[in-house]
């Protein structure tokens, strides 16, 4: 009963983290958090939570993979 978080750097886009987070939300239906608010080094990263059920996490990554391949 807890969560794990990853601050993941993305390399597939030069857009700011807020824009990328919005694109993933609308394109893959996955919530990520732009980490620019976590300090100067946060831009270019997204916060991912691994607090859900394993099947939910797999489904989210499957949707993100399909979205990235478009």
| 19-67 tens-digit pLDDT | 999 999 999 999 999 998 888 788 899 999 888 888 999 999 999 999 9
- In DSSP terms, 6 is beta-bridged to 48
The predicted pLDDT at position 42 comes to 85
pLDDT of residue 1: 65
Q: Is the distance from CB of 34 to CB of 21 less than 8 angstroms?
A: yes
pLDDT for residue 36: 83
∠ at Cα 36 (30, 40), nearest 5°? 155
Q: What letter does residue 55 receive in the DSSP assignment?
A: H
Distance CA(20)–CA(16), nearest Å, equals 6
The pLDDT tens digits for 4-19 are 899 999 999 999 999 9
């Amino acid at each position: 009963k807890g969560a794990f978080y990853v601050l993941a750097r993305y390399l597939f886009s030069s857009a700011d983290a807020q824009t990328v987070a919005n694109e993933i939300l609308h394109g893959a239906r996955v919530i990520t958090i732009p980490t620019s608010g976590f300090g100067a080094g946060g831009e270019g990263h997204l916060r991912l939570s691994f607090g859900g059920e394993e099947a939910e996490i797999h489904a989210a990554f499957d949707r993100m993979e399909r979205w990235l391949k478009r």
